Amino acid sequence: MSFSIQSIYNWYRDTLRNPKYRWWLVLGTLVYVISPFDIAPDFIPIAGQIDDVILITLLVSEVSQFIIEMAKQKVAAKPTETDTKPVVDVDSVSLDS
């Protein structure tokens, strides 16, 4: 069984895009970053912070990309002003006395 960084990244991104697991993965990532039990413990200089920085960067980039896509979909689905206002043709008549 072979793992690569690309396969882990693809799993993380795909899981974040799944609405069923999205907030669990965000919560799990934040708990991992705060937790003293890491792949590289935080008390080891530089190496201890690298895994945390990588995870935070990945989380922020993926969540921001997801939010941007949601905003684009919302704007695309929103009707424009010209679509909602009907045009009324009126003949004008002069009222001279």
Q: Which pLDDT score is estimated for 43?
A: 78
Q: Which pLDDT score is estimated for 51?
A: 83
- 30, part of any domain: yes
- 89, part of any domain: no
- 55, part of any domain: yes
On whether the pTM is more than 0.75, the answer is no
Domain span at residue 38? Answer: 5-79
32 Cβ contact list (under 8 Å, min separation 6): 38, 55
- 18, part of any domain: yes
- 91, part of any domain: no
Total domain count, the chain:
1
- 21, part of any domain: yes
- 13, part of any domain: yes
- The string of DSSP codes covering 44-91 is STTHHHHHHHHHHHHHHHHHHHHHHHHHHHHHHHSPPHHHHSPP----
Query: Residue 97 above 70 pLDDT?
Result: no
- 97, part of any domain: no
Q: Which pLDDT score is estimated for 80?
A: 64
